[in-house]
Amino acid sequence: MIDIDQHTITQAVLAAQRKSPSPRLAQVMAGLVRHLHAFAREVELTEEEWFEGIRFLTRAGQLTDDKRQEFILLSDVLGLSTLVTAQNNAKPPGCTEATVFGPFFVDGAPRVEAGADIANGAKGMPCDVSGQVRGIDGSRIAGAVIDVWQSDEDGLYDLQHAGGSKIQARAQLVSDADGRYRFRSILASCYAIPHDGPVGDLLRGLGRHPWRPAHLHFKIEARGYERLITHVFRDEDPYLESDAVFGVRSSLLAKWVKHPATATEVEHHSLAFDFVLNPVGASAKP
Ligand SMILES: [Fe+2]
């Protein structure tokens, strides 16, 4: 292949990668190349803009480590995370909807007993969280493994704090024989996604804000059921309509109830939220 020009380059690349031993890799890369080339043609990409893109991705890579994931942030703000989540997690009505995973999950959070305080010193007003894990047929799901993680009053996850080695406001629980779970943590606050890197520069360039409405993250796994990765959002949050990562689902809004201080209890909030899981193999196709 010589004398390739702007009109023949796409077919040349597609032909070059057609012999991949992986049919799926060949399919994915063929689609990527077609759309990438179509994008460059549509916007008449200049060489300066091409290099700006290279610089952007280089900065994102240099900033990414085991505590900062600039590429997930980029996927989130471009709506790719919500698109991929939605097209892979269609569920029958009545099941808890999935939403984006986000960049702040950490594997291996400590497993705690029911009722434990998972804040571990994180800043914020105390908040009791409880609920039940059920199947779509109403059956109680015992032994569901529930990971929960959230930001603190300052809008930061534990791993974002300087040093970042103390595990706070994240834990793993197991539902009891009745499918129930409960723990104490802190009140979720709205927060800005990290915006001191290339993704932040992009948001500013596009006139977008970096804020997310207050939420708790949950990952729930139970034998015989599809894994659920989702959030529970605080209703009345000012950023529900403009979540920087497009993750809000109306079915995931919940009311945090405020409880004034009494003789025996400090001022705190409570949240009750049940999760409904879909049996494996029962997914609804969109
Ligand atoms: Fe979050």
Q: Could you identify the residue written with the tokens 């599809």?
A: 226
As beta bridge partners, residue 279 has: 225
Q: H/E element holding 181?
A: strand 180-186
Confidence at 93, pLDDT banded by 50, 70, 90? very high
Give 186 Cα–ligand 1 centroid separation in angstroms: 14
Cα-atom radius of gyration of the chain, to the nearest Å?
22
Per-residue pLDDT tens digits for 161-171: 887 679 999 99
Specify the pLDDT at position 162. Answer: 80
Which amino acid appears at position 154 of this protein? D
Give 273 Cα–ligand 1 centroid separation in angstroms: 17
Spatial CB neighbours of 275, under 8 Å, sequence gap ≥ 6: 96, 131, 132, 133, 134, 218, 220, 228, 230
Distances (CA, A) of 161 to 70, 118, 122, 266: 17, 17, 11, 26
Give 156 Cα–ligand 1 centroid separation in angstroms: 9
Give 149 Cα–ligand 1 centroid separation in angstroms: 8
| Cα angle: 269, vertex 274, 278; to 5 degrees | 155
As residues whose CB is below 5 A from the ion ligand 1, the structure lists 102
Give 90 Cα–ligand 1 centroid separation in angstroms: 22
Give 231 Cα–ligand 1 centroid separation in angstroms: 8
Residue 256, token pair as written in the block: 């945090």
Confidence at 283, pLDDT banded by 50, 70, 90? low
Give 216 Cα–ligand 1 centroid separation in angstroms: 7
Specify the pLDDT at position 269. Answer: 97
232 contacts 216 by C-beta, under 8 angstroms:
yes
Confidence at 281, pLDDT banded by 50, 70, 90? confident
Residue 109 has pLDDT above 70, yes or no: yes
Q: Whole-model pTM?
A: 0.90
Which amino acid appears at position 79 of this protein? G
Within 13 A of 130's CA, how many CA atoms are on the CB side? 12
d(C-alpha 217, C-alpha 245), whole Å: 14
Give 125 Cα–ligand 1 centroid separation in angstroms: 18
Specify the pLDDT at position 146. Answer: 98
Distances (CA, A) of 223 to 136, 144, 148, 227: 14, 8, 18, 9
Neighbours of 123 (CB within 10 A): 14
Give 242 Cα–ligand 1 centroid separation in angstroms: 15
50: helix, strand or coil: helix
Q: Could you identify the residue written with the tokens 């009109």?
A: 7
Residue 285 has pLDDT above 80, yes or no: no
Specify the pLDDT at position 284. Answer: 53
Give 268 Cα–ligand 1 centroid separation in angstroms: 21
